[in-house]
Amino acid sequence: MQSKPRKKTTKWKPKLDRQQCLIGPLPAVLDLRTHSLATKIFIHDWETHTKAEAEGRPVQPNLFVADDENLETLYFPADDIGVDYAVIENLPNLKELYVCGKEEDHVWHRSHVLQWLICRNLPNLRRVTVQCEILVWLDLLDLDSVETVVVTKSPMLDHFRIEGVPKLKSVQVGGCVKLREIKGMSAADHDRLQITRQIQRMQAKSRRNRKIYSNMTYTDVDLMRPLEWVYTGGTGETYAYDAQNWRYDWKDGKPWCVLSMGCSSQESCLEQLIDFGGNFLRIPTCTDPGREQILKFFAKSADTVPLDFWRTRTVYADAKALSAKERVEYEKRLKPFNYSFVAKRTAEVDLWVVYDIDDERRHRACRGRNVLVNDLDLRNFVDDLEQMNLLKTFAGR
């Protein structure tokens, strides 16, 4: 008897549409860790991100898993597929979500590792498990059926939001040493789910010994947040622990900045400050000061001079040097260091901000004075003040 021919089963292969969304229909159980997925890492320029922020929207994620009725279980890789910002949404039958890396114990370059994850409108999802070492941002929104959330092995996680999860019974955040709170949840929910207790237990392990070490808790370096606005890959996050480096593009005639990625740790920020301090410090009996010598130097200066002591100084800015908006910004930033703007330039002015010094007359007038040219020099000057004060504060705790 002739057997019936077997139906050919088409093996699902990942493909993306123009919006970086996986093209379905998806299988019921999808393990993206077993697939090769060449995704595009979106490195948006400063202007693109600024425009998106002004319009109140995020810029483009580099992967969507969305709008599919077949998917029931999803294993989402935390590394090695070229995704740093992912959105999982509008999956009506998804019941289980696991975000984790491969079994091999390795971490690729940050551009290959998941840093920002948003999960929303997953009405039948019951459990969320996230194990991602470099995750800094996690949103769980409108998950009607979720009872258990497990977020472990995420020591970089700083932003965590849970909203619209009415059946939540358990939240585990062990190892999230940067976490201050879970946004979107009341104080009563923090206590009911023992979130506050878990966070306090992690912070109690803080060494607080004026040293930099891996996985410092936020209580060690709470002073580091925030420094200044940085690019964050489109999540809407507007701070990070790593300062921007400003430069001037002489060809285009405008400033540009070397952008932080928003995932820099407090430790890396302190390392940067120490490197910065080591470039100009002259410590007696030490020609090439290392980390410990620099921290001891600032700790000693903090004991000698109060952190809030700054001699009163004056600043005069030419009318063309700063706009009204820039002047307000700098007045605010300089106030903690006891600098104040004055309306008239006199011989006693400590700092003079000029538009340019190219003409001979202006060049002669600037001789022997502390002069900064335009907004760029003033920005660098204030950045230096703030960074050195932060390092002094940390060393002198």
Residues 142-200 have pLDDT tens digits of 999 999 999 988 888 888 999 999 999 999 998 898 888 999 999 999 999 999 999 99
Pairing label, strands 73-77, 313-317: unpaired
Under DSSP, is residue 264 helix (H, G, I), strand (E, B) or coil? coil
User: Residue 155: which residues within 8 A CB-CB, separation 6 or more?
Assistant: 133, 175, 176, 177, 178, 215
pLDDT in tens, the chain (397 residues): 555 554 445 678 888 888 889 998 999 999 998 887 767 666 656 666 667 666 666 667 888 999 999 999 999 988 766 787 899 999 999 999 999 875 444 443 444 678 889 999 999 999 999 998 888 889 999 999 999 999 988 888 888 999 999 999 999 998 898 888 999 999 999 999 999 999 998 888 777 666 777 778 877 766 554 444 444 544 545 444 444 444 455 566 555 444 444 455 667 667 767 776 666 667 777 777 777 788 888 777 767 766 556 678 899 888 888 888 888 889 988 888 888 999 888 888 888 888 776 666 666 666 666 777 777 788 888 877 877 777 777 776 6
Residue 296 CB neighbour total at 10 angstroms: 15
Give the DSSP letter of residue 369. S
**Exposed e or buried b for every residue in 31-55, given b needs 16+ CB within 10 A?**
ebbeeebebeebebeeeebeebbee
**Exposed e or buried b for every residue in 220-240, given b needs 16+ CB within 10 A?**
bbeebeebebbbbbbbbbebb
pLDDT of residue 78: 84
As a whole number of angstroms, the distance between CA 246 and CA 126 comes to: 46
pLDDT of residue 280: 64
